[in-house]
Amino acid sequence: MIEIQNLRKDYQLGGRSVLACSVRELRIGSGEQVALMGRSGCGKTTLLHVIAGIVRPTGGVVRVAGTDLAPLGESARDRFRGRHIGLVFQTFNLLQPFTALENVLLGAVFTGQADGSHRQRALELLDRVGLADRADHRPSELSIGQQQRVAICRALIHEPELILADEPLGNQDPETGAKVLRMLLDIAGDEGRTVVMVTHDPGSAALMQRTVRLEDLREVAA
Amino acid sequence: MNLWSIARRNLRIRVLSSGLTTVSVALGAGLVAALWLMIAETEQRYRQSYAGYQAVIGPKEGSPLALVLNTVMNRGYAQGIVPMKVYRELHDGRLAKRLGVNYAIPQARGDFYEGFPLVGTTDEWFTKFSRGKDEAGAPVRLALAEGEAWAFDHDAFVRFAEDKAREVEASLGGEPEAAEDHDHDGDGVPDHAPGEHAEPIPAEWRKAVVGAEVARRLGLSVGGVIVPVHGTEDFEHLHDEAASEVVGVLAATGTPIDSAIYVPISMFLSMDKHEAIHLSSPFDDVTADDIRISAIVFDAKNHLAASHLRTEFQNRSDAQVAWPHVEIADLLRLVGNAADVLRIFAWLVVAVAAMGVCVALYNTMNERRREIAIMRALGARRGQILGIVVLEASAVSALGATLGVAFCHVCAFSFRTIVLERTSVALDWAAFTWDEAWLIVGVTVVGGLAGVLPAIKGSTVEVADHLGPTT
Ligand SMILES: Nc1ncnc2c1ncn2[C@@H]1O[C@H](COP(=O)(O)OP(=O)(O)OP(=O)(O)O)[C@@H](O)[C@H]1O
Ligand SMILES: [Mg+2]
């Protein structure tokens, strides 16, 4: 599902080059559930953004779901992301003006038409995370845990092969966090989707099949 | 759910801003629509006004425009006189036969009642004059809303003219009367021409048919009485002897015809101070051909009759021919220039409103960066973000333009009576035109273009920078 080789991402800051992320080699198979760990600032978020095609690497090969991202233009990467990747952010990032159901559908709007079948799937997903009766509520009317569940549904709505989650349990009490994470892993597992999740919490990482420490992947400075 | 529903939702959460921009667009579009409506109505009215007047024949003095304004539009004063000879040529003489005349109707002008002109004419005005053809192909005659028309036909006019000529001839041959005998009001000016006897005007001539506008404004109806006033502001003379009874009220035509009073031409020419006879030379015999009238309204079967007439009268000294449709088209061109200036102003208001759309959206782009970054992360392309913002701009503009046009029609509906009274323009408030459809389309496109700048700003948001935890 993911193949990375000799990846580098540098940022130019005031004429100085800052290395944000560096990976010598990383392979994640289809259907795997992987925890990505590492100390703050080591480049976990940057790596997820590279895999999602949001950020273009400075160098190296990134192959996701059989697609080499390096030569793709911006809109092709947007389309690729819309089609193959589901994203869950640390802050869930639900859009306030839209209801829970609409927020879920937003995950499908930009690549297909969020048509009747998507609507059906959105309602099923919401039902599965126990929010069937909250479909018409705005994010501000939901608890943090409920918002997070909506965000998970949004990442799953368009049936992506790969789900990328960046500290989705950030500000949660461990109990709620674990519950929500199990829901995500359950659904992803049932549907055979690959999950890569950034986390600082060893307990959460323990729920995943495999843990990768980003520091270990670092290219030895040549 | 699609881009459009996202755009709509974005507009709805910024109700105040969206509402105000919509109103400003509505104002601009409404102004344009209102102007169009007024201009269209005015032009329509002018065009209607010359229906039935293939040509007007009037005095050699003055311009063709003045002749048309006076005869067709009831504006200004008669510029001079035409001898009856010309009228008879056109009515049943040489020219009438050659051109296949439909009607040649005489007019005598110069008096007013409460500011409305009196037109002395024959009853062919009611029986022959036609404002075009209806769907069935029948001529559209002047209809009476109330009462009936007086009777005074062409033959009666000819008899009147002959009597008058004899009378004048006799008085010229006999003892000249002292001028003082005719100066009843002692102003040094004879009250009637030598030879004219201050005989009472027969009651059957003292009858009037008033136009719809005259009736409405003056509250006249059958049985009312009008007393003509002679001429200009500095010399006004009340014709008590010509007090006439209103016998009929014309149905409204929406043309200047509504704004005049029609009386038998004999009555008109019998009034004090109206010199019925024009002496071309003191040595000639006075004949009916010397009776003076103001103009002749002419229509013929021959479509080229108007130009034939023009050629015919070019070399004659007794009358000139004017083409109402040409003169009025010239006039409209003048109005058109003024209208163009107004149009430019109206479009400027639209342009300012479009700038308002641009600024309002541009200002929201900063607060929307995060939301845009999220949509981009969910797979939205730059073009789609651009599309959403442009859609918002277009939607506000389309809504504004539609409201503006609708508002313009509501205004036309509510002011139709006042406008009718002040300008006698009958606003067709319910008629939506293609121009208005295009106006809405145009404003929508212009508004959409105004959305491009904020859209570009929105679509260039750096996605990765705005996805993290809110600070
Ligand atoms: N847009 C940017 N411009 C410059 N430097 C950046 C940018 N984004 C990230 N960096 C730098 O790259 C490094 C890696 O950042 P990143 O956000 O990937 O870390 P992280 O592992 O996700 O940290 P955390 O666990 O705190 O979220 C950091 O030193 C950061 O300052
Ligand atoms: Mg991070």
Same domain, yes or no: B228 and B138? yes
Check A78 against B379: CB less than 8 A apart.
Answer: yes
Q: Does A45 touch chain B (CB under 8 A)?
A: yes
Query: What sections of B50-136 are H helices per DSSP?
Result: 64-71, 84-91, 94-99, 124-127
Cβ contact B157:B122 at 8 Å: yes
Q: Is residue B128 part of a domain?
A: yes
Cβ contact A33:A189 at 8 Å: yes
Find all residues with CB under 8 Å of A8, minimum gap 6, and list them. A19, A21, A22, A57, A58, A59, A60, A219
Cβ contact A2:A164 at 8 Å: no
Find all residues with CB under 8 Å of B152, minimum gap 6, and list them. B122, B123, B205, B264, B265, B266
pLDDT digits (tens, 9 = 90+) for A26-65: 999 999 999 999 988 888 889 999 999 999 899 889 999 8
Strands B111-113 and B229-230: antiparallel
pTM: 0.73
| Cα dist from B417 to B410, B420, B426, whole Å | 13, 5, 8
* Domain limits, chain A: 2-216
Of B406, B259, B328, B264, nearest in space to B46 by CA:
B328
Q: At what angle do helices B434-450 and B382-423 cross, to 10 degrees?
A: 140
Q: Does B464 touch chain A (CB under 8 A)?
A: yes
Quote the CA–CA distance of A28 and A34 in Å, as a whole number. Answer: 8
Confidence band for A167, pLDDT divided at 50, 70 and 90: confident
Q: Is residue B342 part of a domain?
A: yes
Q: Which residues of chain B have pLDDT under 70?
A: 173-199, 231-236, 272-276, 278-284, 421-426, 469-471
Which percentage of chain A shows pLDDT scores above 70? 95
Quote the CA–CA distance of B41 and B211 in Å, as a whole number. Answer: 20
Q: Is residue B330 part of a domain?
A: no
Quote the CA–CA distance of B82 and B385 in Å, as a whole number. Answer: 76
Judged by CB atoms within 8 Å, which residues 119-178 of A form the interface with B? 154, 158, 170
Q: Which two tokens stand for residue A154?
A: 């949004």
Same domain, yes or no: B250 and B362? no
- Report the 10 Å Cβ neighbour count for A45: 23
pLDDT digits (tens, 9 = 90+) for A112-143: 766 778 889 999 999 988 899 999 999 999 98
pLDDT digits (tens, 9 = 90+) for B64-114: 999 999 999 988 888 888 988 899 999 998 888 888 899 999 999 988 898
DSSP B42-65: HHHHHHHHTTT-SEEEE-SSS-HH
pLDDT digits (tens, 9 = 90+) for A174-195: 777 788 888 889 989 988 899 9
Counting the structural domains of chain B, the total is 2
Residue B423 sits at φ, ψ, to 5 deg, of: -120, -5
CB of A43 within 6 A of ligand 1: the answer is yes
The amino acid at residue B30 is G
Q: Is residue B245 part of a domain?
A: yes
Same domain, yes or no: B148 and B296? yes
Cβ contact B179:B187 at 8 Å: no
Per CATH, the homologous superfamily of domain A2-216 is P-loop containing nucleotide triphosphate hydrolases (3.40.50.300)
From the CA of A22, which ligand is nearest?
A: 1
Same domain, yes or no: B122 and B198? yes
Quote the CA–CA distance of A87 and A168 in Å, as a whole number. Answer: 10
Q: Say which of B9, B378, B468 has its CB closest to residue A110.
A: B378
Same domain, yes or no: B411 and B293? no
| Cα dist from B206 to A133, B120, B200, B251, B362, whole Å | 89, 11, 10, 21, 75
Q: Which two tokens stand for residue A144?
A: 């943090």
Same domain, yes or no: B34 and B59? no
Q: What is the pLDDT of residue A101?
A: 93
Cβ contact A75:A96 at 8 Å: no
CB of A42 within 6 A of ligand 1: the answer is yes
Q: What is the pLDDT of residue B375?
A: 92
DSSP class of B403:
H
Same domain, yes or no: B304 and B390? no
Contacts of B368 in chain A (CB under 8 A): none
Domain ends where: B322, B355, B387? B322
Q: Is residue B327 part of a domain?
A: no
Ligand 2 centroid distance, CA of A173 (Å): 19
Same domain, yes or no: B109 and B227? yes
Which has the higher per-residue pLDDT, A115 or A82? Answer: A82
Quote the CA–CA distance of B33 and B403 in Å, as a whole number. Answer: 11
DSSP A162-184: EEEEESTTTTS-HHHHHHHHHHH
Q: Which two tokens stand for residue A121?
A: 């799937």
Mean pLDDT of A84-107: 88
Q: Which two tokens stand for residue B227?
A: 């007393």
Same domain, yes or no: B168 and B301? yes
Check B374 against A75: CB less than 8 A apart.
Answer: no
DSSP class of B179:
G
Burial of B40 (0-12, 13-18, 19+ CB in 10 A): middle
Same domain, yes or no: B293 and B367? no
Any bridge partners for residue A103, and if so which?
A: none
- By alpha-carbon position, which residue is closest to atom 31 of ligand 1? A41
Q: Is residue B451 part of a domain?
A: yes
**How far from chain centre, in Å, is Cα B409?**
20
Quote the CA–CA distance of B290 and B164 in Å, as a whole number. Answer: 10
Taking the CA of residue A21 as reference, the ligand 1 atom at the shortest distance is 14
- Report the 10 Å Cβ neighbour count for B189: 12
Find all residues with CB under 8 Å of B384, minimum gap 6, and list them. A110, B3, B375
Q: Which two tokens stand for residue A93?
A: 């990032």
Query: What sections of B320-470 are H helices per DSSP?
Result: 324-364, 369-377, 382-423, 434-450, 452-459
CB of A172 within 6 A of ligand 1: the answer is no
Phi-psi region of A88 (alpha: psi -120 to 50; beta: other; left: phi over 0): beta
Find all residues with CB under 8 Å of A54, minimum gap 6, and list them. A77, A81, B376, B377, B463, B464, B467
Strands A194-198 and A162-166: parallel
Q: Which residues of B172-184 are buried (b: 16+ CB within 10 A; e: fewer)?
A: eeeeeeeeeebee
Question: How far A221 CA lies from chain B's nearest CA (Å)?
Answer: 26
Domain ends where: B274, B293, B322? B322
For residue B162, the enclosing domain spans 55-322
Contacts of A87 in chain B (CB under 8 A): 377-378
